[in-house]
Structure 1
Amino acid sequence: MEQVPTDRLENFPVTFFAVVMGMLGLTLATHAAETAFGTGGVISMIVLAVSVAIMAAVAMLYTAKVFRHRPAVVEEWSHPVKVAFFPTISISTLLLAVAILPYSIGAAHVLWIVGTIAQGILTLSVIANWIGHRTFQQMHLGPAWFIPAVGNVIVPVAGAMLGYQEISWLFFSAGLMFWIILLTLVMNRLIFHDPLPARLLPTLVILIAPPAVAFIAYFRMTGEIDAFSRILLNSGYVFAAVVATQARKFSGLPFALSWWALSFPVAALTIASFLYAGQASSPAHEFVAGFLLAALVAIVAMLLVRTARAIASRRICLPE
Structure 2
Amino acid sequence: MKDKIKYFPITAYTVIMGLSGLTLIFSKYGQLGWLPDTFYNVALWAVSSLFVAISIMYLLKRVMFPEEVMAEYRHPIRINFFPTISISLLLLSIAFEGYNKTVSAWLWWPGVALQTWFALNAISYWIQHNYQIQHFNPAWFIPAVGNVLVPVSGIEHAPMIISYFYFSSGMFFWIVLFVIFLYRVVFHGQLAEKFIPTFFILIAPPAVGFISYMKFFPSWDGFSMFMLMMALFFVLLLAKMGKSFTKLRFFMSWWAFTFPMTAITVATALAWEMTGIHEFKYISWALGAMAAVIISIVAYKTIAHMRKGEICVMEE
Aligned to 1:308: 303
Matched, 1:59 2:55: yes
Aligned residue for 2:125, secondary structure, equals helix
Matched, 1:298 2:293: yes
Q: 1:78 aligned to 74, 80, 83, which one?
A: 74
1:150 & 1:290 partners in 2: Cα distance?
26
2:35 & 2:245 partners in 1: Cα distance?
35
Aligned residue for 1:160, secondary structure, equals helix
Matches within 5 A, 1:36-51: 36-51=32-47
TM-score normalised by L of structure 2: 0.97
Aligned residue for 1:37, secondary structure, equals coil
Aligned residue for 1:223, secondary structure, equals coil
CA contact (8 A) 1:150 1:213 kept: no
Matches within 5 A, 1:270-285: 270-285=265-280
Matches within 5 A, 1:157-168: 157-168=152-163
In structure 2, the gaps of 5 or more residues are none
Matched, 1:227 2:222: yes
1:129 & 1:235 partners in 2: Cα distance?
29
Shift of 1:38: 4.7
Q: 1:117 aligned to 113, 118, 137, which one?
A: 113
Shift of 1:250: 1.4
Shift of 1:8: 2.0
CA contact (8 A) 1:150 1:209 kept: no
1:306 partner letter? K
Aligned residue for 1:300, secondary structure, equals helix
CA contact (8 A) 1:86 1:122 kept: yes
What do the CA deviations read for 1:111-167 (whole angstroms, capped 9, x no partner)?
A: 1111011111110011111111x2111111011111123320000000113343010
Runs of 4+ in 1 over 4 A off after TM superposition: none
Matched, 1:33 2:33: no
1:164 & 1:308 partners in 2: Cα distance?
42
Matched, 1:22 2:53: no
Matched, 1:317 2:312: yes
Give the number of equivalent residue pairs.
315
CA contact (8 A) 2:145 2:169 kept: no
1:164 & 1:183 partners in 2: Cα distance?
30
Question: What is the aligned-residue identity percentage?
Answer: 35
In structure 1, the gaps of 5 or more residues are none
Aligned residue for 1:194, secondary structure, equals coil
1:148 & 1:225 partners in 2: Cα distance?
28
Q: 2:198 aligned to 198, 203, 224, which one?
A: 203
Aligned to 2:263: 268
Q: CA RMSD in A?
A: 1.0
1:163 & 1:272 partners in 2: Cα distance?
23
Shift of 1:245: 2.0
1:61 & 1:268 partners in 2: Cα distance?
27
1:204 & 1:263 partners in 2: Cα distance?
11
1:67 partner letter? V
Question: Does 184-193 or 47-56 show the bigger shift?
Answer: 47-56
1:12 & 1:65 partners in 2: Cα distance?
7
Matched, 1:253 2:248: yes
1:219 & 1:105 partners in 2: Cα distance?
19
Matches within 5 A, 1:127-166: 127-132=123-128, 134-166=129-161
